[in-house]
Structure 1
Amino acid sequence: MELFTIKEVAAKLRVNKNTVYNLIKSGHMTALKLGALKVTDKELARFIESASGKDYSDLENVTELKAV
């Protein structure tokens, strides 16, 4: 199992660190604290799988992604 820092998760998702913190705060992603917050590789994979096809623009109202 591998642990990623918030910065590493943000880079992998191509978002800023605040977005990752907000995903954790809103319960969409689970982290653990070992000095600083970390996310496991399994949790990151789970989030990506579950987030596929969804619009996370509003973390309090995640919806299915509408076709453009």
Structure 2
Amino acid sequence: MHQLLDVTEVAKILKVNRNKVYDLIKHGHLRALKLGRLKVSTIELEDFMIRNSGKDLSDFENVKELEVV
């Protein structure tokens, strides 16, 4: 079943702080909708993880492939 998650829930799933989630949304890497507060669908969150698998998101303005050392 698909659900809407608030920013705190998304942050817990991604294991980052809420500000990082807001930055992902602000820079267009994660799509959200506003129903009172910002929400992210579980479909979008799953798609985000697939789209960004193997990428380095340290700099949202310069996303690149992850370099394995």
TM-score scaled by length of structure 1: 0.98
Q: Structure 1: how far apart are the matches of 2:68 and 2:34?
A: 38
Where structure 1 has 5 or more consecutive residues not aligned to the other structure, the ranges are none
Q: Structure 1: how far apart are the matches of 2:58 and 2:3?
A: 28
Deviation, structure 1 residue 23 = 0.3
Deviation, structure 1 residue 4 = 0.3
TM-score scaled by length of structure 2: 0.97
Task: Tell me the percent identity.
Answer: 56
> What pairs up with 1:1-68 in 2 under 5 angstroms?
1-68=2-69
Where structure 2 has 5 or more consecutive residues not aligned to the other structure, the ranges are none
Q: CA RMSD in A?
A: 0.4
Deviation, structure 1 residue 29 = 0.6
Number of equivalenced pairs: 68
